[in-house]
Amino acid sequence: MIEAELKARVRDPGALLRRLEAAHGPGRPEVYRDTYYDLPDGSLLGGDRELRIREITSHDGTRRTLLTHKAPRVDDASGSKPEHETAVADAEATDAILRGLGYRARLAYRKHCRSYAWDRNGRRFLATLVRVPQLAGVFLEVETAAEDTADLAPALAAVRAALGELGIDGEDLTSELYTDAVLRAGGADGRE
pLDDT tens per residue, range 32-76: 999 999 999 999 999 999 999 999 999 999 999 999 999 999 999
Instruction: Count how many domains the chain has.
Output: 1
Report yes or no on 139 lying in a domain. yes
Whether 191 is in a domain gets the answer: no
- Give domain status of residue 71, yes or no: yes
pTM of the model: 0.92
Mean pLDDT calculated for residue range 101-125: 96
Query: How far, in Å, CA of 178 to CA of 33, rounded?
Result: 13
Residue 101, SS3 per DSSP: coil
pLDDT exceeds 60 at position 121 = yes
Cα separation, 192 vs 190, whole angstroms: 5
Local structure of 105: helix, strand or coil: strand
> Residue 176: which CATH number?
2.40.320.10
For residue 89, tell me if it sits in a domain.
Answer: yes
Split at pLDDT 50, 70, 90, the class of 186 is confident
Looking at the domain assignment, is residue 190 inside a domain? Answer: no
Q: Is the pLDDT of residue 190 over 70?
A: no
181: left (phi over 0), alpha (psi -120 to 50) or beta: alpha
Determine the average pLDDT of the residues in 22-39: 96
Domain membership of residue 13 (yes or no) is yes
Asked whether residue 102 carries a pLDDT value surpassing 50, the answer given is yes
> Which residues form the domain of 60?
2-185
* Neighbouring residues of 22: CB distance < 8 A, sequence distance ≥ 6: none
In a domain, 120, yes or no: yes
**Summary mean pLDDT of the chain:** 94
Q: pLDDT category, 192, cuts 50, 70, 90?
A: very low
Residue 191 has pLDDT above 90, yes or no: no
Residues facing residue 81 across a β-bridge: 3
Has residue 112 got a pLDDT over 60? yes
In a domain, 160, yes or no: yes
CA distances for 49 relative to 34, 79, 119, 132, 179, angstroms: 15, 11, 29, 21, 12
